Structure 1
Amino acid sequence: MLRAEIARLKAEIDLMQTEHSDEVRKLLEKIQDLQQELKESRLISEDAANEVMKIKKQAAAAEQQAESAVKAQSLLVDVEKRALSNEEMYKKLKEKHLALVKDHAGLLRKNADTRKQADSLQQSAGDFEGEKLRLISDLERLESQVEIEKSNLKDAEKRRKE
């Protein structure tokens, strides 16, 4: 009976070792998959950060243009005050003023659109960062599970030898 019990226990240990080996292999594959996903997320995050920087530069340029348009508008008001005596000059200056106002409005709209894009990209970068942190947490948890499985496998191996 004892020999039969020993044979049964040996078969059970062999089955457990096979199961543990399969589980460790699966966990290692999962770790590799998660590491690849993390690498891809990092690349996407870097691309998003580069795009955000590009949009910030565009926004700064648009703000400078808007400031230039505001200054030009201010100068135009001064010129209109001095040109009241000459009706023809006044009409020309008024036409220029309207063009500048339209340009200014266009620049303000463009600046608003650029800011929206920058905000959206910053949000995306934040989302990617959160996803990256989640993947790192998952990876750490899986690594911990692998260590536990290795320890269990060693214990089972030790019990089998004993």
Structure 2
Amino acid sequence: MFLNDINITFMEPCVADPEKIRLKAELSDNIVELMPYLNTVISNAVFNKNVPLLSFTKEFRLIVLYPQSLTMAKAVNMTDALQVLDWLKNLINDTWGKRETITPSYEKKEKPTVLQLYNWLPKTNCKECGELTCFAFATKLLLGTQKIENCKLLFRDEYDNARETLMDMLKVIL
């Protein structure tokens, strides 16, 4: 086992969503050498080797890992936070155990912008996705509150290239 414990040191209502909580936690062990491996394993991770930090989302929760600490925003409640921390501890330990078979990535994956996503959408403002405009749809895609499957036009043959490009771009944020 590489990481023994993750201990919550601070918790309060989330600024972005007061119905949820945010927290800080300390890691029992320094994970800096494991961060490039986690960057490979977590598809939507954004790694900054200069700081160093690794940020990613788990569903709607935002998690930022530092060498010996982490922050989490938008946890539903304490039970939810503890479950996510257990999942993270297991992921860290599994990644450590499999590191010989994982190619570490030092690459900083860039999160796409709303405009970049929008440029690959049909731009018809058809509203079939439930949004008023394609730009609103792109914004919600970036936030993770909308799914690409909801853009029905995008799944027509004529949009194959755009759909594949969008799906690749979304791998960084999903």
Instruction: Give the TM-score normalised by the residue count of structure 2.
Output: 0.21
Greater RCO structure (CA 8 Å; 6+ sep): 1
State the structure with more CA Rg.
1
Structure with the larger helix share: 1
TM-score by length of 1: 0.22
Query: 1 or 2, which has the higher strand percentage?
Result: 2
